[in-house]
Amino acid sequence: MRPLDLTDATVLVTGASSGLGVEFAHRLAALGADLVLVARRADRLTEVAAQVGAAHGVTVTTIGMDLTGEQPGAQLKRDLDERGITLTGLINNAGFGHSGALHQVDAETIAEMVRLNVDTLTDLTTTFLPQLRASGRGILVNVASLAAFQPNPGLAVYGATKAYVLNLSQALWEENRAAGLRVLALCPGPAKTEFFEVAGESAGAGLPRMEPSDVVEAAMKALARRTPPPYVVPGVANTAMAQTTKRLLPTRVVAGAVGAMMRRGGGA
């Protein structure tokens, strides 16, 4: 592939009002990309846009919207078309978790999580793939999770949504290579963001939490490789855990161990 070049690029980042999304905004802008930042909290987006614009001199557009609404991709595309904005990059980062055994948690929250983590991500990807491919040097980052590699009692549906994201991204990696589109699934372990305020503290299963800047750094390094990998797991310990649960241990052992970690962390 051609070297990663984000000068004159325009990248849309979902979930850019906190956590990993804010880090992506800074890192991409530092490499010269104009940005479109999307999340529900418009006031937060405005603050991030002001900081990023001042630090890096790029153009930042903010769109406050709930991405679990009807046809978010079509709605965003209409908005961007009206503003004359064509995307060369998409960071599907917005997502949330909800801990607890499935029979004990709120069904509407679970449905909303599947809508955001799966339906919205798929809808935005499908909508903007033609633009990303047409640029000949596009990037598509789908934020999955370390939870994508194994069953996750206590976070069952969340883990399943992220397994979907990882699987989808790996297929898209192959489908779009010839078009020069870098597709990467980012699979972080626990990181110091607002994720746990939403998902519940037990969702971290007692594991150490990485700095968001280190998580995004791992994604940017992977993207910059001449042949970017289909996915990256930031952190040596997390990488070892993903490989072990994926390749070495029987599913019943992994499910039991993760369930025990979640219970120790106060989860299901």
Ligand X SMILES: NC(=O)c1ccc[n+]([C@@H]2O[C@H](COP(=O)([O-])OP(=O)(O)OC[C@H]3O[C@@H](n4cnc5c(N)ncnc54)[C@H](OP(=O)(O)O)[C@@H]3O)[C@@H](O)[C@H]2O)c1
Catalog residues that contact ligand X under the rule CB under 6 A: 15-21, 39-41, 44, 66-68, 93-97, 116, 143, 145, 188, 190-191, 193-195, 198
Pick 135 or 145: Cβ nearer ligand X: 145
Q: Which of 24, 128, 158, 231 is catalytic?
A: 158
Q: 71-98 as b/e, with b when 16 or more CB fall inside 10 Å?
A: ebbebbbeebeeeebebbbbbbbbbbbb
Pick 18 or 135: Cβ nearer ligand X: 18
Pick 135 or 231: Cβ nearer ligand X: 231
The CB-side HSE value for 225 (13 A sphere, CA atoms) comes to 13
Minimum distance between the CB of residue 229 and ligand X, rounded to whole angstroms? 17
Q: Is 231 a catalytic residue?
A: no
Minimum distance between the CB of residue 108 and ligand X, rounded to whole angstroms? 13
Minimum distance between the CB of residue 205 and ligand X, rounded to whole angstroms? 10
Residue with nearest beta carbon to ligand X: 19
Pick 52 or 67: Cβ nearer ligand X: 67
Pick 64 or 256: Cβ nearer ligand X: 64
Minimum distance between the CB of residue 195 and ligand X, rounded to whole angstroms? 3
Minimum distance between the CB of residue 228 and ligand X, rounded to whole angstroms? 19
Residues with catalytic function: 158
